[in-house]
């Protein structure tokens, strides 16, 4: 007899904050969650049914973990896809599909995929090493990206002129034409096995000036209805062209000429969807569960304009984390605190986030900046 989703064990590769928030949604459905993570103090450890400490990139470890689960998913891309492919071949449900995780792991194959499938993206050149980059001086200014293992602002740098070429990455990567963009937006899109596809309203991302991480997020994005429709259509096209099951964050640039270009994608819950826990009828975390367990997808309408503030470890502090300003913050209406259970802080480490709800969009922006100054994570 086939198991229904409540009887299935869901294994998640990665035990960080994204997995933690997936578990918080899964609790409402009595879903049994197993976690694999190399960190003995991973944020998921204390709230999952079973925690396995081990490498996410080791074939045998991932394979052994997956054999104990009915469905396997990820909360981080840097995993052993060969083990996942073997598990899928043996009948385990693995979503997103292993070959798609492998494609997305490398920004080079990501960009080539966009080009092949007619998905709008910035002009780019693939490079093998530093010497290759040096040959492309006429392509500058450009963004130099490592092909693999760049995340949270790492493995990405701007090369403006010939004088900066010495900084180029000496590994397979790419050069992407530097876009003079108006805004950075993100659309989260979900798809289940039945072929249902649903998108979330686009959000606007504001980045930290030095850490290259999202500092503030505002929903909905302040763009025209025409651009909003275009962004939604592009996100749907990407997930359909991939034939991906699960959730996908599609990061995009809105150019000053009114074009929308895909920057990068992530096949998992994403920082640009954290606000959905309070701000939308279905959170991205519940939606990911629904998609990979082949449940009906949930309504994604925005209940109320929202802002999200990433709580990053303060510069200059490393050690056991201490959160300042919580009492002052939670006295305010429409403030929702999410701490990720990380014991140790270091500069710019993602330690939590705050979601704010307010019908007044201008007031919302001001309040987000104030919350950023009130809550500080130090050691």
**In the 8-state DSSP scheme, what is residue 313?**
B
CA dist 347 and 378 (Å) reads: 9
Beta bridge partners of 306: 219, 357
Is 264 annotated to bind ligand?
yes
Is 50 annotated to bind ligand?
no
How far lies 110's CA from each of 6, 102, 116, in Å? 34, 10, 10
Q: Output the six-digit token pair for 292.
A: 């990979």
CA dist 26 and 49 (Å) reads: 11
Is 35 annotated to bind ligand?
no
CA dist 155 and 189 (Å) reads: 25
- On whether the CB atoms of residues 247 and 240 are closer than 8 A, the answer is no
- On whether the CB atoms of residues 64 and 50 are closer than 8 A, the answer is no
Instruction: Output b/e per residue, 293-302; b: 16+ Cβ within 10 A.
Output: bbbebbebeb
Closest CA to 337 of 354, 351, 322: 354
Is 163 annotated to bind ligand?
no
CA dist 41 and 45 (Å) reads: 7
Q: Largest Cα–Cα distance in the chain?
A: 66
Is 257 annotated to bind ligand?
no
Is 184 annotated to bind ligand?
yes
Closest CA to 15 of 98, 57, 72, 74: 74
Is 362 annotated to bind ligand?
no
Is 177 annotated to bind ligand?
yes
Closest CA to 70 of 102, 33, 108: 33
Is 179 annotated to bind ligand?
yes
Q: Peptide bond preceding 288: is omega within 30 degrees of 0, i.e. cis? A: no
Binding annotation: 107, 145, 176-179, 184, 263-264
Binding annotation for ATP: 107, 145, 176-179, 184, 263-264
């Amino acid at each position: 007899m086939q198991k229904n989703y409540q009887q299935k064990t869901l294994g998640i590769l990665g035990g960080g904050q994204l997995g933690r928030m997936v578990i918080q949604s899964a609790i409402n459905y009595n879903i049994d969650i197993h976690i694999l993570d190399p960190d003995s103090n991973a944020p998921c450890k204390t709230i999952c049914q079973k925690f396995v400490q081990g490498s996410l990139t080791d074939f045998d470890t991932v394979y052994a973990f997956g054999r104990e689960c009915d469905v396997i998913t990820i909360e981080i891309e840097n995993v052993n896809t060969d083990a996942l492919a073997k598990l899928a071949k043996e009948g385990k449900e693995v979503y997103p599909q292993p070959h798609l995780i492998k494609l997305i792991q490398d920004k080079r194959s990501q960009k080539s995929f966009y080009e092949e499938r007619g998905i709008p993206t910035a002009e780019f050149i693939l490079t093998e090493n530093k010497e290759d980059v040096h040959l492309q001086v006429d392509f500058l200014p450009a963004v130099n990206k490592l092909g693999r293992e760049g995340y949270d602002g790492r493995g990405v740098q701007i090369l403006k002129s010939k004088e900066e070429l010495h900084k180029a990455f000496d590994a397979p990567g790419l050069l992407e034409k530097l876009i003079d963009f108006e805004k950075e937006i993100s659309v989260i899109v979900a798809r289940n096995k039945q072929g249902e596809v649903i998108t979330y309203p686009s959000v606007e991302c504001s980045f930290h000036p030095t850490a290259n991480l999202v500092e503030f997020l505002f929903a909905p994005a302040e763009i025209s209805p025409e651009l909003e429709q275009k962004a939604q259509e592009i996100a749907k096209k990407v997930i359909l062209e991939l034939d991906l099951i699960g959730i996908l964050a599609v990061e995009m640039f809105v150019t000053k000429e009114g074009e929308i270009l895909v920057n990068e994608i992530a096949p998992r819950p994403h920082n640009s969807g954290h606000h959905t826990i309070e701000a939308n009828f279905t959170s991205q975390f519940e939606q990911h569960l629904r998609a990979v367990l082949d449940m009906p997808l949930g309504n994604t309408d925005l209940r109320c304009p929202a802002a999200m503030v990433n709580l990053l470890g303060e510069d200059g502090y490393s050690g056991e984390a201490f959160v300042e300003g919580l009492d002052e913050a939670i006295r305010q209406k429409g403030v929702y605190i999410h701490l990720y259970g990380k014991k140790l802080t270091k500069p710019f480490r993602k330690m939590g986030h705050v979601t704010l709800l307010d019908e007044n969009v201008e007031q919302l922006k001001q309040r987000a900046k104030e919350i950023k100054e009130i809550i500080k994570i130090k050691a």
